[in-house]
Structures are given as structure tokens and as C-alpha cells.
């Protein structure tokens, strides 16, 4: 089993543990996501699971979903009552997970997924679901416990995928510069280049003290726009620099 499939299975387990015991008042309370309740976050994950599973089925069969398929799924889930959004999301999440786990290694090596100009292998495609899943699980967890952090089981594969994510989540702020970052748990070194044409994040090896050092799970949350001051662990570096980077990564 790939590390990303295993990490996604762990994240699915975390979500089910979090959500299964929530009462009808809790599920309509706010999540960390702006304007989304906990039930609506689960609806997003549930509809995403249905779409992701259909995409996998289509690639395996060489078929194509109707053009309006995604919108029809979103419309269906938006119309569900909060309790149904929660319960149906947990069922859809598990169904997708079981489908992914059933794909054997030989088939995984053959599968290719088109994402705009990108062509992704099976593990890379699973990584997209993992990242979306892990951060939305945190959106729920932190609404219930302000001290919640990304679980250790998902941090490493999520961090390994941040270079691709930063290109989409980063917003140039008019200050061309390179910021060096070191993470702990796991330890990684990055160069974050911010320019007029976009944002790039590359793994590097630093010879000197980096500009910013912080836990890997916190850096991942920064790139996803989820590192506000209230949820920032101890770090080394200039607080003003970190605050500026929050503007570069407003979230998406």
C-alpha cells in the first residue's frame, strides 16, 4: 500500500471518529472554514468522494462522465439536510477508500489522471484527495478543540506535495523575494520564491540558518491559509515575515 493511500485511510479514520458522535446542534455549528458549518464541510468531503470515485471508475473503464456530473453531485449534496450530509459523507468517504484500496499495484502503475495540463499517476492523484481531506478534517477538529493539529500520519505525505499546491494557493504581494524555510517533524528545507509571475516552493538544502523554522504541520497549514496567529505553534524567525506570508497564502 502506498504511503498516500495509507495516510488517507488514517485521515478517513480520524474523520469518522470526529464526526460519528456529533449531535444535531454540533453539526450545524461553525467550522474553521468561512461560512461553512461542520455539516457543510462534511458535505464537501462527501460530494468530493462521489466525484473522485466516479473519476477513478472512468479512468479504469476508459469512459467519460457527463459534463454536468460534478454540478449535479454538488446540487444533490447542497440540498441534503445537515444530518444527512454528515451520515452520507461518512458512507461515501468509506466507499471511496475501499475502492482505492482495492486497486492492485499493477493497475496503479498503469493509471493516468488528467488534471488540466497535468497528467498524474495514481499516488499523485490520491495525494490530491489526501490533502483536501486532511485539511478539512482539521477544519472540523479545530472547531471542536482549538489545540487541534494535523495528525502525524498525514503530515509527511502532505508536506511532500506542497510544491504543487503552493503554485495554486500562493498570491504574489508585490514584493519579489526568496524566503528560506526549515520544517521539523519531518525536517525539510524549502526555498519559497515570490515574484510577479507567481509563487514557487522547492525543496533545497540550506547551508545557513533559514529565515523561518517551524513544525511541518504548521508550514503545511500556512500554505493552505490555515495558520492564523491563534493557531500558530512556537516558531523561529521574524513574526512580521510570517505575517506577510499569511497574506501570500490567503487560503483556498
CATH of the domain spanning 3-153: 1.20.120.450
> Domain-by-domain residue ranges, the chain?
3-153, 162-248
Per-residue pLDDT of the chain (252 residues; tens, 9 = 90+): 468 999 999 999 999 999 998 999 999 999 999 899 999 999 999 999 999 999 999 999 999 999 999 999 999 999 999 999 999 999 999 999 999 999 999 999 999 998 878 899 999 999 999 999 999 999 999 999 999 999 999 999 999 889 989 999 999 988 899 999 999 999 999 999 999 889 999 999 877 899 999 999 999 999 999 999 999 999 999 999 999 999 999 987
Q: What is the pTM of this model?
A: 0.93
CATH topology agreement for domains 3-153 and 162-248: no
Q: What is the pLDDT at residue 2?
A: 64
Q: What is the pLDDT at residue 116?
A: 78
Q: Is the preceding peptide bond at 186 cis, omega within 30 degrees of 0?
A: yes
- Please give the span between the terminal C-alpha atoms of the chain, in angstroms, as a whole number: 30
Count of residues making up the chain: 252
Assigned fold of 162-248:
Nonspecific Lipid-transfer Protein; Chain A (3.30.1050)
Q: Which residues make Cβ contacts (< 8 Å) with residue 113, sequence separation at least 6?
A: 55, 59, 119, 120, 121, 122, 124, 125
Amino acid at each position: 500500500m502506498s504511503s498516500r493511500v495509507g495516510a488517507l485511510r488514517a485521515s478517513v479514520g480520524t474523520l469518522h471518529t470526529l464526526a460519528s458522535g456529533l449531535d444535531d446542534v454540533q453539526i450545524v455549528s461553525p467550522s474553521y472554514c468561512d461560512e461553512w458549518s461542520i455539516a457543510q464541510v462534511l458535505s464537501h468531503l462527501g460530494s468530493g468522494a462521489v466525484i473522485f470515485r466516479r473519476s477513478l471508475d472512468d479512468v479504469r473503464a476508459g469512459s467519460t462522465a457527463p459534463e454536468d456530473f460534478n454540478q449535479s453531485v454538488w446540487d444533490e449534496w447542497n440540498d441534503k439536510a445537515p444530518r444527512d450530509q454528515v451520515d452520507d459523507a461518512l458512507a461515501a468517504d468509506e466507499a471511496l477508500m475501499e475502492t482505492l484500496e482495492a486497486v492492485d499495484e499493477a493497475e496503479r502503475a498503469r493509471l493516468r489522471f488528467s488534471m488540466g495540463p497535468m497528467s498524474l499517476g495514481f499516488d499523485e492523484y490520491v495525494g490530491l484527495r489526501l490533502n483536501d481531506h486532511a485539511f478539512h478534517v482539521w477544519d472540523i477538529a479545530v472547531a471542536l478543540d482549538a489545540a487541534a493539529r494535523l495528525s502525524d500520519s498525514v503530515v509527511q505525505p502532505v508536506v511532500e506535495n506542497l510544491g504543487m499546491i503552493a503554485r495554486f494557493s500562493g498570491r504574489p504581494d508585490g514584493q519579489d523575494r526568496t524566503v528560506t524555510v526549515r520544517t521539523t517533524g519531518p525536517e525539510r528545507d524549502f526555498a519559497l520564491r515570490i515574484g510577479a509571475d507567481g509563487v514557487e516552493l522547492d525543496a533545497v538544502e540550506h547551508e545557513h540558518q533559514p529565515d523561518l523554522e517551524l513544525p511541518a504541520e504548521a508550514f503545511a497549514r500556512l500554505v493552505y491559509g490555515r495558520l492564523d496567529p491563534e493557531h500558530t505553534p512556537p516558531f523561529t524567525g521574524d513574526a512580521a515575515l510570517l505575517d506577510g506570508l499569511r497574506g501570500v497564502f490567503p487560503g483556498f
